[in-house]
Amino acid sequence: MSIVMLGLCAAMTWSGLPGPEWDLVYSQPAATWDEALPLGNGLMGALVWGDGSPLRISLDRTDLWDLRPVEAFERPEYTWKTMQQWEWEKRYKELIALYEDPYNEPAPTKILAGRIELSIPGHPAFQESRLRLAEGIAETRFAGDAIVRVAVLADRPAGWIEAKGCIPEVAVIAPAFGGKPGKAIRAISAGDLSLLGYPAPETREGPNCRGFVQEGWGGFRFAVAVVWRQDGDAWRAAWSIATSDEHQDPFALATERAGALLAPANADAALAAHKAWWDAWWNRVTVEVPDARIQKQWYLETAKFGAAARPDTPPISLQGPWTADDGKLPPWKGDYHHDLNTQLSYWPAYSGNRMDGALGYVSWLWNNRGNALEWTKRFFDLPGLNVPMTTDIRLRQIGGWRQYTHSATTGAWLAHHFYLHWQFSRDRQFLETMAWPWIRDCAVFLEAVTAEKDARGKRSLPLSSSPEIHDNKPRAWFPVMTNYDNALIRWNFRTAAELAREVGQPEEAERWEKALSEMPDLALDEDGGLAVAEGHPLTESHRHFSHLMAIHPLGLIDPVLGGPEARHIVDQSLARLDRLGSSQWCGYSFSWLANMAAWAGDGERAARALNIFAEAFVLRNGFHCNGDQSGKGYSSFTYRPFTLEGNFAFAAGLQEMLLQSHRGYIEIFPVVPADWKDIRFSGLRARGAFLVSAERREGRVTRLEISSETGAAPRIRLPWTGQIIDLGDSADVAGARIQRDGNRWTLQPLT
């Protein structure tokens, strides 16, 4: 399949490698796993923390899951019709018992891999820990010139440790899975790992080798192996994690992988490949802005995205490759939440020119669509495709708040990412074999589930919700269609029609245009902004901007293309958020707001939201911790469960301030704050498969370059005059000199 994954930067480039001044540096050691230095390669992750007594390396592998089935969901009454009937009959205890309580069982759940502990002889004093962003290496220094460096190798399922000035003592610690199966009492996360009830691990030890084999549910096994070698005062170690899905003897496989790295020639080659991968990663895109806090956080997010997202590994779950190492079940089971979390996690992949990471996400959805199709037929008894909102790694329903885990529009929001991948890559094979079929199948389901018309002759939903308005209270089901559901259905019908014409199926396009015409209007509140649903304005601060999906990310209401009426809707919607305040927001709310403000044309608001996120809603390693850690009252939530969507939506927000292309033309520096006089970027990606580089000095754009991957000419809004032009030739236009070299255009101001 010729799916576009990587884009080369345009000619106007700078070194994208972050200098040491942007490294993550600790003068005091991390004492908890969630403040550790994060490393990863999409499949394997590591967290480096501690002071050397010991130095801990928490291990993870993203496909380690307890996949025991949810037995309640095999019951005959587990159906959409039963849910409707019980809601009407107010049988709330039975609804919770069937649809929600299964999530309180300890499994299915993501599980961690264990820990390596390195004890430094003599216990020399800790001096510094540093995450060298440019190289993907964690380095810890101790008194007496002792150094330990750790890497998760970028291109293979193995990790690397190098010690200088010391010979560490090695211990390999298995997770505390053993015990009696029980039931967690779950709010965010509750219950020890022992609730999973696994047998004790089989420890393995040999000359310069240690590890274990752990049996999980259903005969699944995984193994961790660490091997080391000492040559004089040089000490090196490697580790790997293998599973029974790969080999009948996972410990033998893990040992083989790790041991192969210790030969000097192999080690040098592996480290050279690791460095080359990170060099290419950073040089693909460069971003430089004058706000140091935002700049540093963007570097941290870009490093984490490189560690978490690859085209051929499991996609980013709530914690990605960094499952909690605290003896507890991970927050929210470390699962896949599709009411916001997975979607926001991949927003930066598109404008950030990380299409390989985005491909890993949509490929996973596509490869597991069979499970989603089966669930759609079994639960809804309808044709087409929908997806459970909370899923395991195989895209299977695992339960939770019933109004969202059984939403009718989750598949449509996931369809948006198929569309984005097509828009930014223009890969026709991807369009024809993945994007169009997924979006069409979702449209088929939405057409069926909205078949019943209301009194006005408009399509309706028998149960409609808006994540996470009213949490899981009975009133979280609205008596009319919410704007969240309506926007997603309208977008899916509209996009199905668009893609049907693109692939040459005009009859299909007419079908979806007709369905779109039968949808009710989006509901407005008394001020003219978007309501939650008709007759239900947003009345309190809320973390999830589900009612504003039509503004961002779907772009159904655009303040530029939609004229004064759309401008009023957008302005009033944001004004209501301001009036209600952020007391019930999470960190990701500020990241999302930055993206929305960028599309609304408000750079000051976007930059302010990004600064608040980076100041108050991250731990010192940059992990998004949901609650306000600043003590400044940005939110009443002050807890610290770590999830990744806020991190990656942050990166997308900055990129949307620098480059936009969702209106059918490319805009350069569309919404930067007035005091951002000097900015530059290279290699950002625009819809249409264009790579863009630009520089602004003393508040004026001095140079712009655009490369086309398809050969098509770009359409741009000139930053000097505001004129929208097609670059079909190299003729100068008012205010700009244009030069063309093949599929690359260079523009400069005439004065």
Question: Where are the domains positioned within the chain?
Answer: 20-67+108-283, 81-103+289-665, 677-749
- The pLDDT value recorded for residue 166 is 94
Amino acid in the structure at residue 338:
H
The share of the chain scoring above pLDDT 90, in percent, equals 93
How far apart, in Å, are the Cα atoms of 432 and each of 171, 411, 427, 429, 671?
51, 18, 9, 5, 35
- The arrangement of strands across the sheet holding 202-206 comes to 24-26, 126-132, 137-142, 146-152, 159-164, 234-243, 221-231, 209-215, 202-206
CA distance 723 to 703: 16
Decide if domain 20-67+108-283 falls under CATH 2.70.98.50: yes
pLDDT at position 519: 98
CA nearest to 186, candidates 472, 476, 585: 472
Instruction: Report the pLDDT value the prediction gives residue 232, as an integer from 0 to 100.
Output: 82
SS3 3: coil
Helix (H, G, I), strand (E, B) or coil at 543: coil
How much is the pLDDT for 12?
62
Name the pTM for this structure: 0.96
What are residue 65's phi and psi, to 5 degrees?
-140, 145
Cis peptide before 468, with omega less than 30 degrees from 0? yes
**345-381 pLDDT per residue, tens:** 999 999 999 999 999 999 999 999 999 999 999 999 9
**pLDDT computed for residue 183 by the predictor:** 67
pLDDT at 191: 83
pLDDT of residue 733: 84
pLDDT at 599: 98
In this predicted structure, which of 127-136, 448-457, 725-734 has the lowest mean pLDDT? 725-734
For 200-214, write each residue's pLDDT tens digit.
Answer: 999 999 989 999 999
pLDDT, averaged across the chain:
95
Among 3.30.200.20, 1.50.10.10, 1.10.10.10, 3.30.70.920, name the CATH number for the domain at 81-103+289-665.
1.50.10.10
What is the pLDDT averaged over residues 153-165?
97
Q: Identify which of 152, 164, 160 has the alpha carbon closest to the alpha carbon of residue 41.
A: 152
Quote the strand ranges of 326-480, DSSP E. 336-337, 390-391
- Per-residue pLDDT for 224 more than 80? yes
The sign of the dihedral angle between the CA atoms of 376, 184, 544, 623 is negative
